[in-house]
Amino acid sequence: MPLIALIALFVAFWSPVSPAEGGVGPSGGLDGSDRVLLTMAAIAAVGTTSALIGGLMARRVARRGPSLRDRRRLARVSQWLEILAVAAFGAAVHGAGWPRFVADCLGIKGWILVDEAMVLLPFLLMLLAIWSGLYPAERMLKAAGLRGMHHARLRGYLVLKARQALGMVVPVAVLFALVQDLRAYLVPSGSVGSWSQLAQYAGLGGMILVLSPAFVRLSWPAKSLPPGPLRARLERLARRFGFRYSDILVWDTGGALVNAGVTGALPWFRYVLLTDAMVEHLSPRQIEAVFGHEIGHIAHRHLNYFGLFFLGTMGVMALLGSGIEEHLAIGRPLWVWGDSPTIELIVQGAVAIGFAAAYFLLVFGFLSRRFERQADIFGCRAVSCGLEDCPPHPDVNAMLGAPAGVPEALCPVGIGIFVEALTSVAMLNGLEPRASSWRHGSIARRIAFLRGLEGRPEAERRFQARVRRLRVAIGLALTIALGLAISTGALESLR
């Protein structure tokens, strides 16, 4: 799930800032038209900036020709523009008071899903403006990209980008908003205890884990991988490892993306997705290795752990809000910025968003990178023969009578196949191998880690033991945070 969309949801629907009724705060003296104008100005600023940058980059590419450096530059520019969009959206929400306009001036407060959609509308328009502005540069760069890539018109390009960025976020947000609205309808007084609140979030998380495959089918255009040698090999691999799934899908990206994924916590409602470009450009053995990587996420129960992680995160966010209210308010011991409600709002909002961003980047990011390396090891095992001193290397997944079970040892050839797959993914996606990724780590570091395991089974055992300790430590810390949030009543502040 893209981080930028999660942050936008956080900005829109959670804040420790609670301005007094009657309009105290930076937007308190604004009427409805002022709020709309300021929000439109924020959208226009993001759109204009994106169009200017996209036009300049397109002219540069037309003059000098496309290069890998230009593709990396475009990716960085897109990231910074998305950060700008979140900042502008935050200004519209907390500065211009856009949610107050939606609730009061439009008169749709309490309308199930409608008011939440209207609150998010400025951010969605900003994303469309960014994609539209960068489209000329993206089109010119992709013209020299992968074989078989479809050069979509602007409308098709925007649909594809929306599905990639929001395909999993929007269904989850809709489900969350629906639960909140139904609770407000069933319990008009709003008096929900901490344990009821916890049960709600636990039930919501369970629903998301169970229904995520349906979200994928609804959001992403995909079809079943047709029968043939590749599917037969993947099915043999799944049977060997005892991996159960509903189907193997080919995700139609117009040839624009080389990637894979797995969704579904339940074995009888689970999909493995391979993008069309991956099926087109990677060898069968490399695809097997990537398929094994996705099996590794399920074998190590990463999806289930992430569900519990986000449940515990509710406790962390509740304690954060309680701490800000206790210590960063006018008249509190740590408050030294005067008696301006505007300054109070800015300081509290900045601390809340800064802490949340750091929490996800550092804690969740570190955990996610460890999980990715666990899955990488499993991907190597998927194409390993189980002999530490190979070659010769038998093609186990091509054998009808291949032994069942996960190989104990990682063989050098199996590691090499997975490394080749990672290298191909980086090259075909235009990624710099040394470029960092907060969730996955750089391709170069992942490759160096796997190479360091060749002929060293004790190194892998040490790594797996460290990951187990990390899971226990983070789980214990989140359990304590959740317990404190329940006992102090802080959890009830999350709405």
Q: Tell me the per-residue pLDDT of 362-403, one tens digit each, with 9 for 90 and over.
A: 999 999 999 999 999 999 999 998 887 787 887 777 776 677
Q: Are 345 and 493 members of one domain? A: yes
Q: Are 146 and 205 members of one domain? A: no
Q: Please indicate whether residue 448 or residue 317 has the higher confidence score (pLDDT).
A: 448
Buried b / exposed e across 262-282, counting CB within 10 Å, b at 16+? bbbbeeeebbbbbbbbbbebb
In a domain, 263, yes or no: yes
Q: Are 285 and 417 members of one domain? A: yes
In a domain, 319, yes or no: yes
- Alpha-carbon distances of 299 from 123, 209, 378, 382, rounded to whole Å: 37, 16, 9, 12
Contact 251, 273 (CB under 8 A): yes
SS3 category, 223: strand
In 3D space, the residue among 230, 211, 208 whose CA is nearest the CA of residue 271 turns out to be 211
Using pLDDT thresholds of 50, 70 and 90, give the confidence band for residue 27: very low
Average pLDDT, the chain: 82
Q: Are 362 and 298 members of one domain? A: yes
> Mean pLDDT, to the nearest integer, of 223-230?
94
Q: Domain of 66?
A: 1-151
Q: Tell me the per-residue pLDDT of 235-284, one tens digit each, with 9 for 90 and over.
A: 999 999 999 999 999 988 877 788 999 988 888 889 999 999 999 999 99
In a domain, 271, yes or no: yes
Q: Are 482 and 390 members of one domain? A: yes
Q: Are 315 and 434 members of one domain? A: yes
Q: Tell me the per-residue pLDDT of 412-423, one tens digit each, with 9 for 90 and over.
A: 999 999 999 999
| Domain-ending residue, one of 96, 116, 151 | 151
Q: Tell me the per-residue pLDDT of 6-21, one tens digit each, with 9 for 90 and over.
A: 778 777 776 554 443 4
Q: Are 210 and 327 members of one domain? A: yes
Residue bearing tokens 């800032």: 17
- What is the number of structural domains in the chain? 2
In a domain, 180, yes or no: no
Would the pLDDT of 455 be above 70?
Answer: yes
Q: Are 200 and 144 members of one domain? A: no
In a domain, 365, yes or no: yes
Question: From its phi and psi, is residue 435 left (phi > 0), alpha (psi between -120 and 50) or beta?
Answer: beta
Q: Are 9 and 126 members of one domain? A: yes
Q: Are 284 and 425 members of one domain? A: yes
pTM of the predicted protein model: 0.83
In a domain, 423, yes or no: yes
Contact 24, 102 (CB under 8 A): no
In a domain, 345, yes or no: yes
pLDDT at 189: 53
Q: Are 199 and 123 members of one domain? A: no
Q: Are 123 and 222 members of one domain? A: no
In a domain, 429, yes or no: yes
pLDDT at 110: 67
- Alpha-carbon distances of 87 from 12, 44, 93, 379, rounded to whole Å: 11, 13, 10, 39
| Domain-ending residue, one of 84, 119, 151 | 151
